[in-house]
């Protein structure tokens, strides 16, 4: 029996736990590990573990650069599953089981190997029990319909599976995409079609491919140190969907669709032990390492819309014999950036005129990609109005600035006058309260009387002397 998995920077701790558990439970097996980014780490198992690079499974440097441009790092790994299985099957004839790296093996898998030997292809369903949830949109069944009813994280092949693997690799090489609206999740949906095209066996061993999405009706039970489920051995558990060992009380970051562990002590213990094994194998240090393929060599990110445009242009060129589009790893970042800008503008224009029918993949537009570029088209339509609003905003800001300056100047002048008034009031108050002002008050009264008489004589109609005094 041979096992195989795919890993890269950030997932070596998972690969080490998988290797240790698989080889311990299957003492006559070997494990093949494909390192997508070429990184190499120490692995348990000694000579029973064989390391592979992309070139060893038929993905040369140029093809790897193409996939790194059109796919995210996770998707690059997903797209290479059939290549790895085919390569191992060619090197070591016999049954081969593929595991996602975030899995742990607890018992022998001889039964799966025998089925692969007999049927060439063994597919594992997402769930084996009807989901009891009242809201269909929240059920594991609804999710399985969208993501694929078979899980690609646990697939077994044997002699005779070569046609299937060639067919699967032909699809994942260019069409390993996540499009929830079209019910396409990476490499999984193709397995549904494979079940009608190739001889296969549907695995219904209830101890295999156990995961959060099929635990709604059961729990793990422990017999000493051995986990069991549904009365049989637990063989393989899939800790998928962003399992975080620093929060082992959760099986996934988003628990919306999965059962909690509060009422499942058996799974809770399983989770705690797996978390400890990950942490002991360097999980924290691994997560701090940079992931290749997220950005270009300069550090500039490869935006999702860039991947969409590049992938469509590559497919179009390969189908119609055109010139291959540049990518930042083989042709240089500057060349790729210039091409992507030039490519984006006419694509948006075509969509604005022709809609979905103008998409480069004639007859089979990628809905998610179309929506992304359509959003760009709407931005282009709104750009003139955005410019007008920005000009109005700038004028309003300038006017507000001018008014603020005027207000500040008026406030400064008001404050200056207020200070002068206060100074004058202080001077007058000091004079009125001085002894000289009080002593000279009779003289000021006599002077006022004389002035009043003189004024009376000159102007008889002004009033009497008493009136003049009173006025004074």
Residue whose pair of structure tokens reads 């809201």 in the numeric block: 135
Average pLDDT value over all residues in the chain: 83
Report which of residues 229 and 136 the model is more confident about. Answer: 229
Q: pLDDT band for position 269 (50/70/90)?
A: very high
Q: Strand pairing of 220-223 and 30-35? A: unpaired
Report which of residues 384 and 110 the model is more confident about. Answer: 110
Which range has highest mean pLDDT (151-165, 187-201, 326-340, 422-436)?
A: 151-165
pLDDT in tens, 63-103: 999 999 989 888 999 999 999 999 999 998 789 999 999 99
Residue 96 pairs with which residues in a beta bridge?
2, 157
Contact, 6 vs 81, CB < 8 A?
yes
Per-residue pLDDT for 361 more than 50?
Answer: no
Per-residue pLDDT for 472 more than 70?
Answer: no
Q: Across residues 49-67, what is the average pLDDT?
A: 93
The whole-number pLDDT of residue 166 equals 95
Per-residue pLDDT for 456 more than 50?
Answer: yes
Per-residue pLDDT for 464 more than 60?
Answer: no
The whole-number pLDDT of residue 360 equals 45
In the chain, pLDDT over 70 holds for what percent of residues?
82
Contact, 94 vs 117, CB < 8 A?
yes
pTM for this predicted structure: 0.72
Structure tokens belonging to residue 128? 């084996």
Per-residue pLDDT for 254 more than 70?
Answer: no
Contact, 103 vs 22, CB < 8 A?
no
Structure tokens belonging to residue 406? 């005027």
Per mean pLDDT, which range of 162-176, 274-288, 339-353 is the poorest? 339-353
HEC letters along the chain: CEEEEEECCCCHHHHHHHHHHHHHHCCCCEEEEEECCCCCCCCCCHHHEEEECHHHHCCCHHHHHHHHHHCCHHHHHHHCHHHHHHHHHHHCCCCEEEECCCEEECCCCHHHHHHHHHHCEEECECCCCCCCCCCHHHCHHHHHHHHCCECCCEEEECCCCHHHHHHHHHHHHHHCEEEHHHCEEECCHHHHHHHHHCCCEECCCCCCCECHHHCCCCCEEEECCEEEECCEECCEEECCCCCCCCCCCCCCCCCCCCCCCCCCHHHHHHHHHHHHHHHHCCHHHHHCCCCCCCECCCCCECCHHHHHHHHHHHHHHHHHCCCCCCCCCCCCHHHHHHHHHHHHHHHHHHHHHHHHHHCCCCCCCCHHHHHHHHHHHHHHHHHHHHHHHHHHHHHHHHHHHHHHHHHHHHHHHHHHHHHHHHHHHHHHHHHHCCHHHHHCHHHHHHHHHHHHHHHHHHCHHHCCHHHHHHHC
Per-residue pLDDT for 132 more than 90?
Answer: no
Q: Which fold has domain 2-287?
A: Spore Coat Polysaccharide Biosynthesis Protein SpsA; Chain A (3.90.550)
Q: Across residues 415-437, what is the average pLDDT?
A: 82
Contact, 115 vs 129, CB < 8 A?
no
442, 447, 452, 453 alpha-carbon torsion, rounded to 10° = 110
- Rounded-to-integer distance, Cα 106 and Cα 9, Å: 25
- Rounded-to-integer distance, Cα 81 and Cα 51, Å: 15
Report which of residues 93 and 228 the model is more confident about. Answer: 228
Report which of residues 1 and 185 the model is more confident about. Answer: 1
Q: Across residues 129-135, what is the average pLDDT?
A: 65
Please state, in angstroms and as integers, the Cα–Cα distance from residue 203 to each residue in 122, 142, 469, 471, following that order: 6, 20, 124, 120
Q: pLDDT band for position 365 (50/70/90)?
A: very low
- Rounded-to-integer distance, Cα 38 and Cα 51, Å: 10
- Rounded-to-integer distance, Cα 226 and Cα 212, Å: 19
Q: Cα 193 from chain centroid?
A: 29
Report which of residues 463 and 235 the model is more confident about. Answer: 235
- Rounded-to-integer distance, Cα 157 and Cα 164, Å: 9
Structure tokens belonging to residue 91? 């090197």
Q: Cα 320 from chain centroid?
A: 34
Contact, 33 vs 52, CB < 8 A?
yes
Q: Across residues 53-71, what is the average pLDDT?
A: 93
Q: pLDDT band for position 370 (50/70/90)?
A: low
The whole-number pLDDT of residue 378 equals 62
- Rounded-to-integer distance, Cα 383 and Cα 66, Å: 33
- Rounded-to-integer distance, Cα 420 and Cα 431, Å: 17
The whole-number pLDDT of residue 362 equals 33
pLDDT in tens, 10-37: 889 999 999 999 999 999 999 999 999 8
Domain boundaries, the chain: 2-287, 295-397, 439-471
């Amino acid at each position: 029996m041979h096992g195989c998995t795919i890993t890269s920077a950030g997932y070596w701790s998972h690969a080490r736990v998988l290797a240790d558990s698989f080889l311990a439970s299957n003492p006559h097996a070997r494990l093949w590990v494909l390192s997508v980014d070429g990184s190499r780490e120490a692995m348990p198992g000694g000579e029973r573990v064989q390391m592979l690079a992309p070139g060893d499974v038929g993905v040369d440097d140029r093809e790897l650069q193409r996939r790194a441009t059109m796919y995210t790092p996770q998707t690059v790994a997903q797209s290479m599953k059939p290549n790895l299985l085919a390569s191992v099957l060619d090197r070591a004839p016999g049954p081969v089981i593929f595991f996602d790296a975030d899995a742990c093996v607890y018992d022998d898998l001889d039964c799966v190997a025998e089925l692969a030997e007999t049927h060439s292809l063994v597919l594992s369903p997402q769930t084996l029990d009807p989901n009891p949830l009242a809201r269909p949109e929240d059920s594991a069944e609804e999710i399985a319909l969208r993501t694929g009813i078979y899980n690609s994280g646990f697939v077994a092949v044997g002699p005779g599976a070569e046609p299937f693997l060639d067919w699967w690799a032909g699809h994942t090489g260019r069409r390993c995409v996540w499009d929830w609206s079209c019910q396409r999740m990476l490499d999984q949906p193709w397995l549904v079609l494979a079940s009608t095209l190739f001889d296969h066996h549907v695995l219904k061993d209830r101890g295999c491919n156990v995961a959060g999405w099929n635990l709604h009706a059961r729990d793990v039970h422990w017999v000493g140190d051995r986990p069991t489920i549904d009365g049989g051995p637990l063989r393989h558990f899939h800790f998928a969907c962003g399992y975080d060992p620093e929060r082992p009380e959760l099986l996934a970051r988003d628990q919306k669709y999965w059962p909690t562990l509060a009422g499942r002590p058996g799974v809770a213990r399983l989770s705690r032990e797996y978390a400890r094994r990950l942490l002991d194998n360097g999980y924290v240090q691994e997560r701090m390492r940079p992931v290749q393929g997220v950005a270009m060599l300069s550090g500039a990110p490869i935006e999702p819309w860039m991947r969409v445009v590049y992938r469509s242009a590559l497919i179009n060129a390969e189908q119609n014999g055109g010139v291959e589009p540049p990518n930042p790893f083989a042709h240089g970042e500057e060349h790729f950036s210039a091409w992507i800008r030039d490519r984006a503008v006419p694509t948006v224009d075509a969509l604005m005129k022709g809609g979905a029918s103008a998409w480069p993949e004639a007859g089979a537009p990628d809905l998610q990609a179309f929506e992304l570029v359509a959003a760009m088209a709407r931005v282009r339509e709104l750009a003139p109005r955005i410019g007008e609003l920005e000009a109005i905003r700038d004028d309003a800001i300038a006017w507000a600035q001018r008014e603020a300056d005027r207000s500040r100047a008026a406030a400064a002048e008001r404050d200056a006058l207020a200070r002068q008034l206060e100074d004058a009031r202080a001077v007058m108050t000091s004079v009125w309260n001085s002894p000289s002002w009080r002593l000279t008050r009779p003289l000021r009264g006599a002077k006022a009387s004389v002035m009043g008489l003189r004024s009376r004589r000159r102007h008889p109609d002004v009033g009497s002397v008493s009136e003049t005094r009173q006025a004074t």
